[in-house]
Amino acid sequence: MSDTTTSAAASAANKKAIGLAVSAAVGGFLFGFDSSVINGAVAAVENKFNISAATTGFVVAIALLGCALGAWAGGRWADKWGRIKVMVSGAIIFFVSSLLSAFAWNAVSLGVFRFLAGIGIGIASVIAPAYIAEIAPARMRGRLGSLQQLAITVGIFAALLSDQLFAHNAGAVGEGVPIAAGEILGWPAWRWMFLVCIIPAAVYGILALRMPESPRFLVANGKSAEAKSVLASVLGPDEDVDQRLADIENTIESDKALAAEGNVLKETRPGKKGFLGLRKIVWIGIALSVFQQFVGINVIFYYSTILWKAVGFGEAQAFTVSTLTSITNVVVTFIAIALVDKIGRKPLLLIGSAGMAVTLGMMALAFTHSTGTGDNITLGGAWGVTALICANLFVVFFGATWGPVVWVLLGEMFPNRIRAAAIGLAAAFQWVANFLITVTFPPMLSAWGASVPNLLYAIFAALSFVFVLFMVRETKGKQLEEMEEH
């Protein structure tokens, strides 16, 4: 084969791998879009249904419990029915529940429909990193795995932008009435914010139907010929497809003993002990997921309009600043994409932990100079500017490190046979952690202001540094089949 032909074949394989990764990452877009679209609707929902701050926090957060259930079940369904079928199922669930959310008639119905939407998002959050890791060549797996977080950040931006556009074009409202309560074509803007979610759900479902099944799932189900075809299309001429197929077959065969135990996540290897029966690597994945949320990143995207109003912005300006912050989140993700396969996963996590601890600590200090509590908190002068700058620097450190790198690690750190189930469990813990942070922020803000929660998040960021330093191993450049031994 000539150099030109080899180069063309390698380029085609790279494009195929990138195309499949981008399609799978649309599940991350759903994740980001759904989790942040509520941002612009919070005040209007609270006003419409006349509910308390605590109830509002629960309505916002209940979708996250659905996400936890969807993630936990999605990993097991993916091993049973395949990655593609579960992707399509998640898209259908999200489409239907988003449509119903737009027609919610009270807080209870909205909470139920948001819970169902969460199930669809939880499924998507598990399948995307597993699928991307399983079709990506090792040399570019970190970059392709980072597309999950890039899609999440783009989804957050798209949601906040759509919220802003709906709020901006809504009809005038009375004094003290939230902007999103205004109407567009005779319908409140906040209902349109939920309805628009059906568009990415439909796109995700259509793309999933056009994607090939994961080669590792195909091998596990006796379809080695199909698996070889998929591998050949994404690995290119520089990779030995037959050897890679043999490696997959060997690791899956050796892992069947785990499946025979009934719970593939249990520690069953001779001489090994697992905490509460689970393998150590599973607990490491769970801890990474929990730390990713306990630093409080989603407080910025769920309640940012409240925070920006606190430092002196009007409601309309707060929408704009939230959108600009989401753009920052998108842009800095490219830093991780550029560096994750060069300097590795662990160094990026350590840099992120240190940066987040410092910026969150500064935010906690700044808000000790604020007055008022809850929605009425105010922080002016130099401390207001400090809080604004540190909040955005916090987003930079998270978006360039912990945001994408945790998803990369979850997709690649587990042995083949337990990958989907382990990601499902880790992601379920991630969503529960997200729920706890989301539901506790409003009452903490109401009782103590913004200083206490930011201090707690800073402490978790510092603890995450220690955890990564001693418990996380580098996986850069390693084949997925090496992860058992590694």
Most trustworthy range by pLDDT among 319-323, 405-409, 437-441? 405-409
pLDDT tens for 174-202 read 555 666 667 787 788 878 888 888 999 99
Residue 95 is predicted with a pLDDT of: 94
Mean per-residue pLDDT of the chain:
82
Provide the residue range defining the domain that includes 65.
10-219+274-482
Chain-centroid distance, C-alpha 52: 28
Q: Is 70 exceeded by the pLDDT of residue 445? A: yes
3-class DSSP string for 409-459: HHHHCCCHHHHHHHHHHHHHHHHHHHHHHHHHHHHHHHHHCCHHHHHHHHH
Q: Which of 320, 375, 11, 334 is nearest to 146 (CA)?
A: 334
- Provide DSSP, 47-105: HHHT--HHHHHHHHHHHHHHHHHHHHHHHHHHHHH-HHHHHHHHHHHHHHHHHHHHT--
Kindly report the pTM of this predicted structure: 0.78
Cβ pair 404, 337 in contact under 8 A: yes
Q: Quick check: 153 and 337 in contact, CB under 8 A? A: no
Measure Cα distances from 400 to 275, 330, 357 in Å.
Answer: 32, 9, 15
CATH number of the domain encompassing residue 412: 1.20.1250.20
Give the pLDDT band (50/70/90) at residue 138. Answer: confident
pLDDT at residue 255, rounded to an integer: 65
The rounded distance, in Å, linking the Cα atoms of 436 and 234 is 40
266 falls within a domain: no
Closest CA to 131 of 23, 253, 292, 222: 23
Is residue 40 situated within a structural domain? yes
Q: Stretch 461-468: mean pLDDT, rounded?
A: 97
Higher pLDDT, 352 or 481: 352
Residue 262 has pLDDT above 60, yes or no: no
Average pLDDT over residues 413-420: 79
| Poorest-pLDDT segment among 101-105, 256-260, 383-387, 409-413 | 256-260
Please state the rounded mean pLDDT for residues 209-222.
88
Average pLDDT rounded to a whole number, residues 310-318: 63
Quick one: which H or E segment has residue 184?
strand 183-184
Residue 262 lies in a domain: no
User: Would you state the pLDDT for residue 211?
Assistant: 92
Say if residue 239 is exposed, middle or buried (CB neighbours under 10 Å; 0-12, 13-18, 19+). Answer: middle
Reply yes or no on whether the pLDDT at 96 is more than 90: yes
Residue scoring higher pLDDT (167 or 423):
423
258 inside domain = no
| 146 belongs to a structural domain | yes
Number of domains in the chain: 1
Q: What is the mean pLDDT of residues 94-104?
A: 91
DSSP state of 176: T
Residue range 420-449: average pLDDT? Answer: 84
In the chain the first and final C-alpha atoms are separated, in Å, by 35
Q: Is a pLDDT exceeding 70 seen at residue 480?
A: no
Kindly tell me the number of DSSP H helices and DSSP E strands found in the chain.
Answer: 18, 2
pLDDT at 398 over 90: yes
Whether residue 395 is contained in a domain is answered as: yes
The pLDDT of residue 144: 86
Contacts of 133 (CB under 8 A, 6+ apart): 141, 145, 411, 412, 419, 480
What's the pLDDT score for residue 353? Answer: 97
| Tokens found for residue 255 | 């892992």
| CA 334 to chain CA mean position, Å | 16
Q: Confirm whether 232 is domain-assigned.
A: no
Q: Does the pLDDT of residue 234 top 90, yes or no? A: no
pLDDT interval class at 284 (50, 70, 90) = very high
Q: How far apart are CA 403 and CA 336, in angstroms?
A: 9
Indicate whether 236 belongs to any domain: no
Q: What is the pLDDT of residue 465?
A: 97
User: 325-363: per-residue pLDDT in tens?
Assistant: 778 878 888 888 888 888 889 999 999 999 999 999 998
